[in-house]
Chain A
Amino acid sequence: MTKKNCIDVRDVSMSFNGTNVLESITFSVEEGEYLGIIGPNGGGKTTLFKIILGLLSPTNGEVRIYGEPVQRFTNRHLIGYVPQRVISETYFPATVEEIVRSGRTARMGLLKWLSREDRKAVEKAMEITDVTAVRGRLIGHLSGGERQRVFIARALASEPRILILDEPDVGVDVTSQEKFYAFIEDLNSKLGITVLLISHDIDVVAHQVKSVLCLNKRLVCHGSPKKFISEEYMQELYGKKVKFILHGH
């Protein structure tokens, strides 16, 4: 059985002040895929995410989510977004539970109060991400790893079918990182959530994801992690010979 595409990126180009950031990017993401996006700094990874999320309009081309142009896609809650960091995360006087609940806002719609179903989804999101025990604590009082889980819980509160994570492991220690990726893997394999992940950690991408997209303004390669590890692509991506050392997991 062929799987349905949930994201179609068609000939997307983007430029800021005359400088090209993305050039004719075309690819599709199937439902249930676990896609890692990798590339050098300034390669356009975050810009591509923002275009997929409808936060930026591309200079050229279009993005379709479940077949609909992203700007007209009304079921935005089907996409869960986990940003790299939130500017106010260290000082904002809100509890973990308040922040996870806020992830449900878009799905609930205007002038709606939390229903029993909404509360259940919030509880479930906190349970899955293992933040129930810290639900009453202020977000600023948590460690980097805990905060990251809270942001994933917030994204999961809207019961998304697609999860988009922008370098979620920045500032998280190695042990927490391993647990974190095992958890993302579970979300993908057990709950069937499509995962798109930007990571600067090539090792992680090579081991965790099902397919890889290499981006350096243009699409350098899109395929299995094995294909990506070949020296030829690494050189094209990073501009010099890169020796790739795989750590056994």
Chain B
Amino acid sequence: MPEIFELEFMRRAFAAGILISVIVPLIGVFLVVRRYSLMADTLAHVSLVGVAAGILTNSHPVVSAVAASTLAAVAIERLRGVKSLFAESVLAIFLSGSLAVAVVIISLARGLNVDLLSYLFGSISTISPVDLYMLAAVFVAVILAITLLYKEFFLVSFDEEFAEAGGVRARNLNLLIVVLAAVTISLSMRIVGILLIGALMVIPVVSAKQFSLSFRNTIFLSIFFSLLSVVSGLTLSYYLDLASGGTIVLVALIIFLLAFIIKKPE
């Protein structure tokens, strides 16, 4: 067995990384094609509120992060329908607003021995078996939801009005996709970090879109690029002693640059 897999925390990191690299772009593709990429970053910032609240109240930070980002996802979806607000302004308000709340909560929790950086930038050594079980449950939920509702998600992403005219409940499907995004983001922060998870949700999808032959093809290619980024990023970070989240996102960026340079001429 290679040295890297002799360590239990690395085995857990790889297991979690592989689960994340499948579901993160799978959700991300439905956000990117609707020009809703900022949603991933916004929900990640809201997760920080949950982490801070979890630390302050001495509860599991990942659980409170899931709760905070899910609540925010529901609120954002509701506010998106308000005509006097622009969808991207709603995201900007949540993104910076949640950061402000998190900073205040963190300052209240001063004195506690908190490794906040591990949440912000990811720290593979902190992944517990419980984190991994929760991630596995979310993995199953995301795969099931996307597989069973694929045709509905596709229809609503392409043309919401047409979907509604046909009697497909677009609002519920939109809500489901952002809630799944919220849960996935909160559970992925241990690996990639709050500040970088948005990148993993968006960059592999944009890279895949450079070569896209179809929607289905874009999904599979996004997952492939994401897997490549996570596995090689984790390996590199181990051997070169680098931060895991940053290395993963840098690999994703390099893939994007290569994809952009060698993309098919349109």
Q: Kindly provide the distance from the CB of A71 to the nearest chain B CB, expressed in whole angstroms.
A: 10
Q: Which of A55, A98, A103, A110 makes the CB contact (< 8 A) with B161? A: A55
CB pair B158–A99 under 8 Å, yes or no, is: yes
> Given A55-B164, A81-B165, are A105 and B215 also a contact pair (CB < 8 Å)?
no
The CB with the most chain B CB atoms within 10 A, among A74, A83, A92, A141, is that of: A92
A199 to chain B, nearest CB (A): 19
Question: When A53-B165, A74-B167 are in contact, do A95 and B151 touch as well, CB less than 8 Å?
Answer: no
Chain A residue contacts of B214, Cβ below 8 A: 93-95, 98, 136, 138
- Residues from chain B with Cβ under 8 Å of A115 in the complex: none
A149 within 8 A of B: no
Within the complex, the shortest CB–CB distance from B221 to chain A, in Å, comes to 10
Q: Mark A90-128, 1 if CB is under 8 A from B, else 0.
A: 001111001101110111101100000000000000000
Q: Is the CB of B162 within 8 A of A81?
A: yes
Q: A245 within 8 Å of B by Cβ?
A: no
Whether A86 and B213, one on each chain, are in contact in the complex, defined by CB atoms closer than 8 angstroms, is no
A-B CB proximity, top 10 nearest: A106-B166, A93-B212, A76-B167, A94-B215, A53-B165, A102-B155, A95-B214, A81-B165, A93-B218, A105-B155
Task: Specify the chain B residue showing the minimal Cβ separation from A75.
Answer: B167
**Across the interface, do A98 and B266 meet the contact criterion of CB distance under 8 Å?**
no
* B168 at the binding interface (Cβ < 8 Å): yes
Q: Is A61 an interface residue (CB 8 A)?
A: no
Inter-chain CA distance A141–B218, complex, in Å, is 16
Q: In whole angstroms, how far apart are the Cα atoms of A136 and B214 in the complex?
A: 8
Nearest CB on B from A119, distance (A): 13
**Chain B residues within an 8 Å CB radius of A98:** 154, 214-216
Residue of B nearest to A140 (CB): B266
Contact indicator A110/B215 (Cβ below 8 Å): no
* Residue pair A141, B266 in contact (C-beta under 8 Å): yes
A residues in contact with B157, CB < 8 Å: 88, 92
Q: Does A158 contact B (CB under 8 A)?
A: yes
Contact B148 A86 (CB under 8 A): no
Task: Given A83-B159, A110-B149, answer yes or no on A158-B215 (Cβ-Cβ < 8 Å).
Answer: no
B-side interface size class: 20 to 34
Q: CA–CA, A55 to B170, complex, Å?
A: 12
Whether A9 is near chain B, meaning CB under 8 Å from some CB there, is no
A interface: dominant SS = mixed
Q: Does B209 contact A (CB under 8 A)?
A: yes
A55 close to B215 (CB less than 8 A): no
Give 7 A-B contacts (CB < 8 Å), ordered by A residue.
A76-B166, A86-B159, A93-B33, A102-B158, A103-B162, A105-B166, A106-B167
Interface of B is mostly: helix
Task: Tell me if A214 is interfacial: C-beta within 8 Å of chain B.
Answer: no
Q: Is the CB of A88 within 8 A of B34?
A: yes
Q: Is A69 an interface residue (CB 8 A)?
A: no
Task: Please give me the residue from chain B that is nearest to A87 by CB atom.
Answer: B159
Q: Does B109 contact A (CB under 8 A)?
A: no
In the complex, whether A77 has a CB less than 8 A from a CB of chain B is: yes
- Kindly state whether residue B152 has any CB partner on chain A within 8 Å: yes
Check: A45 CB closer than 8 A to any chain B CB. no
Known: A94-B154, A99-B158, A108-B151. 7 other contacts (CB 8 A): A74-B167, A88-B158, A95-B214, A98-B154, A103-B162, A106-B167, A110-B149
Instruction: Find out whether the CB atom of A138 lies under 8 angstroms from the CB atom of B165.
Output: no
The CA-CA distance from A79 to B166 in the complex, in Å, is 8
Report A-chain residues with C-beta under 8 Å of the C-beta of B266: 141
List residues of A (132-160) whose CB comes within 8 Å of B's CBs: 136, 138, 141, 154, 158
B250 within 8 A of A: no
A22 to B223, CA, bound (A): 49
Q: When chains A and B are docked, how far (Å) is the Cα of A98 from the Cα of B214?
A: 8
0 or 1 for each of B2-28: is its CB under 8 Å from A? (1 = yes): 000000000000000000000000000
Q: Give the chain A neighbours of B216 by CB distance below 8 A.
A: 98
The answer to the question of A192 belonging to the interface, with a C-beta cut-off of 8 Å to chain B, is no
CB distance from B260 to the nearest CB of A (A): 15
From B151, B159, B166, give the contact of A77 (CB < 8 A): B166
